Structure 1
Amino acid sequence: MTEILALSGITKRFGGLTAVNELSFSLAAGEVVGLLGPNGSGKTTVMNMISGFFAPTQGVIALKGEPIQGLAPHRIAPKGVARTFQLVRALPSLTVSENVQTALAFGKQRLWGEEARERALHHLEEVGLAERAGEKASDLTYIDQKRMELARALAAEPDLLLLDEWLAGLNPTELRTGIDLIQSLEQRGMTILLVEHVMDAIRALCGRCVVMNAGRKIADGPTDEVLRDPEVVRAYLGDDHA
């Protein structure tokens, strides 16, 4: 299978703190991979390095074989990387449609006007939000804000979608809706790396997981095997449970 993303020996230091320590893994086209680990293990730092918010201290990040480490976010995004954040970053004074149109205006094709409005509606339909396109983003419920953020990410036409705790804070009904949305993207062949703590979602979505602890990789393999790994159990629950 075609390799979409490859991290080789990635390290990130903040002064004397090593947040990520010589991390290596790769994603093949169409994979949905979970990036797991207890709080503070370095997962969001990895997402920030892939998307350009942080430059790695050392190591190589390759997107479809092209090194991208150290490039700014506005240079990485057009190459095919889109992401969501732990906290939804909506433009509250704009409508739902206009929020998606901003992504199209600065995306690969730089769409404006009627073409952008039509494309925005298409992406809102993908996430089940087309009927609320004309409403203010500030009026959306939490799950609908998450849907809107996903529509913005899809508007970038990514080859790689980074989901940083996109399912966090949802009630059971909303969680099922969110899982269904991500599964629909998987069925379309999208490559997804997701940071998540909701294990029901991990088991439903991820055929494979990479697990971090204290900045280093401690496991990488099929989800069921990884979640039974004694070192993974120890990282999450402590020695008494391993």
Structure 2
Amino acid sequence: MSEILTISGLTKRFGGLTAVNAASFSLTKGEIVGLLGPNGSGKTTVLNMISGHLAPSGGTITLNGNTISGLAPNRIALKGVARTFQLVRGLPSLTVAENVIAALAFGRRKLWGDEARSEALARLAEVGLAQRADQSAQELTYIDQKRMELARALAAEPELLLLDEWLAGLNPTELRTGIDLIQGLADRGITILLVEHVMDAIRALCGRCVVMNAGRKIADGPTAETLTDPEVVKAYLGDDHA
């Protein structure tokens, strides 16, 4: 399989702090890869650089062989990268459908009017929200807010989807639904990089994991092996458990 995303020597400094230190890894098309590590390890900073919300201090990011590091978020989105955020960023004054229509209006095809609404309903159906299309976004439950955010991300027609703790805070039934939803997207050929702390989801979804600690990549390999790697166990649990 061909590589869709290649990260080489990626570095981000904030003043004297190095948040990401020369990280390198790649994703092949259709993979679901977990990006793991304790809080403060640099995971979200990596997502922010891939999606253009932060400019790297060093290194390169390529998508389908084209350099995207340092481009503005809207330009990266138009090249096929979409993401969700730890805090759901909906537009509460709009309906659920209007939230997705807003994403379509600024997306790859710049859809408006009836065509945009039809497309929005299709994206909402994909995430199980079609019946709530005309409700106010602020009336949604937590899981449905997350579904709406995912529908907005899918409206960008991504080849690469970055999920930042999208499964956090869900009850066991919602988690199962969320896992099935993400697997279904991968089955359609969307490549997914998943920052997540819910290990049941990582084991269910990710064939491979990249693990970071203190800004460095410390492991990259099959999920079962990676989660039992002594350095990974030490990073998560401390010296006493290694």
TM-score, with structure 1 as normaliser: 0.99
Q: Secondary structure at the match of 1:10?
A: strand
What is aligned with 1:53? Answer: 53
- Deviations 1:205-234 (Å, cap 9, x if unpaired)? 000000000000000000000000000000
1:235 aligned to 2:223?
A: no
- What is the distance in 2 between the residues matched to 1:229 and 1:189? 30
- Deviations 1:147-185 (Å, cap 9, x if unpaired)? 000000001000100000000011111111110100111
- What is the distance in 2 between the residues matched to 1:141 and 1:94? 15
Q: Secondary structure at the match of 1:143?
A: helix
- What is the distance in 2 between the residues matched to 1:109 and 1:238? 49
Answer with 44-53 or 184-193: which moved more: 184-193
Task: Name stretches of at least 5 consecutive residues in structure 1 with no aligned partner.
Answer: none
- What is the distance in 2 between the residues matched to 1:29 and 1:74? 22
TM-score, with structure 2 as normaliser: 0.99
Deviation, structure 1 residue 189 = 1.5
Stretches of 4+ aligned residues off by more than 6 angstroms: none
Q: Superposition pairs for residues 15-164 of structure 1, below 5 Å?
A: 15-164=15-164
Task: Name stretches of at least 5 consecutive residues in structure 2 with no aligned partner.
Answer: none
Deviation, structure 1 residue 30 = 0.2
% identical aligned pairs? 79
- Deviations 1:19-63 (Å, cap 9, x if unpaired)? 000000000000000000000000000000000000000000001
> Superposition RMSD on alpha carbons, in Å?
0.4
- What is the distance in 2 between the residues matched to 1:187 and 1:54? 30
Amino acid corresponding to residue 167 of structure 2 in structure 1: L
- What is the distance in 1 between the residues matched to 2:65 and 2:184? 27
Amino acid corresponding to residue 146 of structure 1 in structure 2: K
- What is the distance in 2 between the residues matched to 1:44 and 1:5? 16
- What is the distance in 2 between the residues matched to 1:43 and 1:202? 15
- Deviations 1:108-137 (Å, cap 9, x if unpaired)? 000000000000000000000000000000
Deviation, structure 1 residue 240 = 1.1
